[in-house]
Amino acid sequence: GSYKAGDTLSFTVNTSENVTVVTTGGTPQIALTIGSTTRQATYTTGTGTSALVFSYTVQASETDTDGISVGTLSANGGTLKDAAGNDMNLTLNSVGSTAAVLVDTTAPTVSIQNAPTAVNSTSPFSVTFEFSEDVSGFAVGDILVTNGFAGNFTTTDANTYSADITPDAGGNIAI
């Protein structure tokens, strides 16, 4: 999937037997590479079971267009032990592909085309909104017009939208 800032990436490490996790000395973690930056997914739940869950919350300004990478598991000062008290082998085996785990926290930009050169207009006019990438959910209600209103909203494609702007009366118009 594609993840944005604030979304949580969760990873489950399945073990051959139940594992007890103790975090008093530190919290176990899995290294992740997002773009070219190493981050840590930290242990969140699963002690006493054979399924340990690690999570990372995507931060603003992180981008990875070709899929994140999963690195190594580290005890990070914590302990991971079986019922006999043996330390867990921290080598991750059979890690599934993360090529489709994409991170995009860059907001699209928009430019307004065809706006009149005079900001003090009394005649209706049409404008085109061109986004830097495909967007969804953009609607006429998202267009704020000072001294006027937007109507006749149409979509050309997923990054190009048009609207008619009708001034209320003479005065400066801002879109």
DSSP symbols for 114-152: S--S-SB--S-EEEEEEESS--S---GGG---BTEEEEE
Q: What's the rounded mean pLDDT across residues 162-166? A: 92
- Amino acid at site 152: N
Structure tokens at 138: 């953009």
User: What does DSSP assign to residue 83?
Assistant: T
Where residue 120 falls among pLDDT bands split at 50, 70, 90?
A: low
Smallest CA-to-CA distance from 56 within 36, 44, 42 is with: 42
Q: What's the rounded mean pLDDT across residues 138-151? A: 91
Where residue 51 falls among pLDDT bands split at 50, 70, 90?
A: very high
Provide the pLDDT for residue 121: 67
Question: For residue 5, what are the contacts with CB-CB under 8 A and spacing of at least 6?
Answer: 58, 59, 60, 62, 105
**Higher-pLDDT residue of 43, 124:** 43
Mapped onto helix, strand or coil, the DSSP state of residue 93 is: coil
Structure tokens at 88: 């867990």
Where residue 169 falls among pLDDT bands split at 50, 70, 90?
A: confident
The yes-or-no verdict on residue 118 having pLDDT over 70 is: no
Mapped onto helix, strand or coil, the DSSP state of residue 27 is: coil
Q: What's the rounded mean pLDDT across residues 67-87? A: 97
Provide the pLDDT for residue 122: 75
The yes-or-no verdict on residue 171 having pLDDT over 80 is: no
Q: What's the rounded mean pLDDT across residues 155-165? A: 92
| CA pair distance 124, 112, nearest whole angstrom | 16
Mean pLDDT of the chain: 92
Q: What's the rounded mean pLDDT across residues 72-95? A: 96
CA distances from 136 to 12, 91, 129 (A): 31, 41, 13
Structure tokens at 58: 């995507």
The yes-or-no verdict on residue 170 having pLDDT over 80 is: no
Provide the pLDDT for residue 114: 83
0.95 surpassed by pTM? no
Where residue 12 falls among pLDDT bands split at 50, 70, 90?
A: very high
| CA pair distance 161, 106, nearest whole angstrom | 20
| CA pair distance 42, 24, nearest whole angstrom | 14
The whole-angstrom distance between residue 28's C-alpha and the CA centroid of its chain comes to 24
Phi and psi at residue 76, to the nearest 5°: 50, 40
Q: What's the rounded mean pLDDT across residues 35-42? A: 97
